[in-house]
Structure 1
């Protein structure tokens, strides 16, 4: 009897972290701090992710805020090659739009910053009443 003996495939190892945070400036700051702490714990670079999370969490706290409803931060590492950042809030009716801010404005550059640091980013509407803004960083050059 001939048997094909092969070594079993290694399962895809993904690391995940998810947390609900209050839609406040304090919650946005905590999102950034938790991102840096987890990525450092996992031995991954955190600078670009920290900038992305800071902007997306601030947007969730300012534009996606609904009284009494938290926003969710999710971090997922796929095969040590890709970091996916997700921020979900409960304002699915308020989709973010990239626009050129007034040169003298003190705000309005968040998505431009996300676009500059992320390799890819986008928006997933729903389920109602939510939306998720995500960004991905390639961990392998």
Structure 2
């Protein structure tokens, strides 16, 4: 190694992806499998990261089932975990035209609080185009 080279530690990114039926049962299963996968990656049930990720997955999956549902099409959960750096939660559906907008705490009604909660829990979130059709709502948690 020359004096100008630095030693870089390799980064391992772990990824979990699963498709679910666009039903309330599919949304519940997405949440359960997300916390199960985090447990396999070393973040036990009931830890702050597990609880936060579970809430984010629950809200985004419920939105995908409620607002992004296209009959006969599934939604997809993807978790991307870089230890001690970042957890990315992606929920994708096939409805392109129904995109969430900016969140506002007022006025609060009986519905529409899900993204407000995601906004409060995630470090950042965004809506991305999904090709060839649909969208992905991404929530990121800095670790």
TM-score calculated relative to the size of structure 1: 0.87
Residue ranges of structure 2 left out of the alignment (5+ in a row): 44-48
- Checking the alignment, whether the CA contact within 8 Å between 1:92 and 1:131 is kept in structure 2 is yes
Number of aligned residues:
136
Q: Rg: which structure is higher?
A: 1
Q: Which runs of 4+ in 1 moved over 6 A?
A: 5-8
Uncovered stretches (5+) of structure 1, i.e. residues with no partner: none
Confirm or deny that 1:70 pairs with 2:69: no
Corresponding residue for 2:123? 119
Q: Secondary structure at the match of 1:76?
A: strand
Paired with 1:124 and 1:133, the residues of 2 have a C-alpha distance of 6
Deviations 1:92-123 (A, max 9, x none): 111012245654x3321010010010001001
Greater shift, 124-133 or 88-97, is seen at 124-133
User: Could you say what the CA RMSD is over the residues aligned between the two structures, in angstroms?
Assistant: 2.1
Could you say which residue in structure 2 is the equivalent of 1:23? 22
- Which residue matches 2:98? 94
What secondary structure, in the 3-state scheme, does the structure 2 residue paired with 1:46 have? helix
- Structure 2 CA distance, aligned partners of 1:24 and 1:107? 18
